Chains A and B, each alone.
Chain A
Amino acid sequence: MISLTSPVRTRAHGWPAGLKLGLLVAATVLLAAQDALAFHLCALAGTLGLYLLPGGRFFRAGLRALRGLWPVALIVLAWDGLTGDPLGGVVVVLRMVSAVALANLVTMTTRLSDMMEVVHWLGRPLARLGLNLRALEICLALVIRSIPALSEKAGLLRRSWQARAHRAPRWRLIPPLTLLALDDADHVAEALKARGGVAGPKTTKLP
């Protein structure tokens, strides 16, 4: 979900990453502060409206990216239904969908390296205390890279299981997936080392 890219170039691609992230923070705070159902219905409609602005292709890609939320929504609705507050559940789900949709919107229209620049800027005071910002940036990029990579590997394992079994693998995929993740991390670490590692440009300063 977080390694999203946009199928079309939008006007928001040209806006500064810091501005977009700032607006996202403000919107998320606002969503968290409000409890009224009407407000959240309007917020979601507004968010979907933003998705429609760049056209149908962008809108469909955006909706596809939100599909992964339905199990969480189901759990929240079921829980609040059981505890006698179904309306509260609906508000929580609307709030979550709007917040994730807005965050996705920023991700889809912002280059990862631009976001890393913002992290770099925010982390600058910490750099004075000895934090390696380059390592932090690369770590963020690696986390974002790893999520779709791992879900793809989980898919391969599931197919490999299903090819020789008639029941779903469920939890039994966890140990082999863990080992695959470690193996993947080894390979990525090696490829990263081949291009200078996480020590950053300091050690490879040009003359």
Chain B
Amino acid sequence: MSHPVPRLRAEALAPCPISGHRKRFDGTATGGRAISTQADIAAAHLRLEQVSCRIGPRAVLEGLELDLRFRALGVVGRNGSGKSTLARLLAGLMAPDAGQLRLCGVDVAADRAAALSTVGILFQNPDHQIIFPTVLEEVAFGLRQQGLRRRDADDAARAVLAAFGKAAWEEAPVSTLSQGQKSLVCLMSIVAMRPRVLILDEPFAGLDIPTKAQLMRYLGRYHGSVIHVSHAPEDLADCETVLWLEQGRIRDVGASGTVLPAYLAEMTRQGEGDDISDLPG
């Protein structure tokens, strides 16, 4: 990771302002579009109306009600609180059993074409995401999925690699990369698709401290809104708003400065108990 990092050509990475009306990549990433900055990006709009979700007999999420505009939203909660299910709902990978969900006005589960330019998700295990044997093919895959021709997709993928200072990775076999490097490939692959919202479902859990710090810095090159799901409050320090889930319900939502300390105090209190003994059912 010691490559000199060229200045980011932000227009290659910034999401399109209007979902469903993406402009084509011109490949060189130097087209006539103005360079967007964080301030230019409209805040993402999340609207949940009585959203419930069941997995088998268990109600994982119940009656979530939310109307929120954000650039960086944190979602905290204990294991099994419904965080990952919420992440999947927000990414449109599953539909709620009841209620309505709109992200930037898009029903992401029903309208998959619009969802691709609205939301991207980074999973915990990069091995589940990576399909292709070399980096360029992997980064270009999502772009081909969005309808770009092979050559255009390759050019656009190269532009993204260059913007991340990883032009030299183009032909690198994915199997030779470290876990942290694979996570970066996943991040670049999603960012290449320029979604307005990026969901992070604890993607850096299990990585060492320097790797995590470096990946968080690369994450800063994505200029859209972020939803960061984690059980660890320190991961969410950069989020202005935090949503606290407990047993499938919203326990609290508000400024991170108030929600996170309350969450930490409650987690410390629960840690003194012994609910690990409780069996489900």
- Which A residues form the contact surface with B (CB < 8 A)? 3, 5, 9, 111-113, 117, 138, 141-142, 144-145, 148-149, 184, 187-188, 190-197, 199-201, 203-207
Contact = CB atoms under 8 A, between A and B. Distances in A.
B175 A9 contact: no
B128 A194 contact: no
B88 to A, nearest CB: 7
Contact of A112 (B88, B133, B144): B133
Contacts of B128: 184, 187-188, 190-191
B132 interface: yes
B100 interface: no
B150 A205 contact: no
Interface stretch (B52-60, B68-76, B115-123, B213-221): B115-123
Contacts of B22: 206-207
- The 3 lowest CB-CB distance pairs between A and B, nearest first, are A196-B145, A5-B173, A201-B147
Interface stretch (B40-48, B134-142, B224-232, B238-246): B134-142
B281 to A, nearest CB: 22
Contact of A190 (B88, B130, B134, B137): B88
Interface string B151-181: 0000000000000000000010101000000
B224 to A, nearest CB: 15
Most buried by A among B24, B88, B116, B189: B116
A contact face: mostly helix, strand, loop, or mixed = helix
A138 B129 CA distance: 13
Contact of B133 (A9, A144, A187, A206): A144
Contacts, number: 90
B175 A5 contact: yes
Contacts of A200: 145
A112 B116 contact: no
Contacts of A196: 112, 116, 142, 145-146
B127 A206 contact: no
B193 interface: yes
Contacts of A197: 112, 145
B131 interface: yes
B21 A207 contact: yes
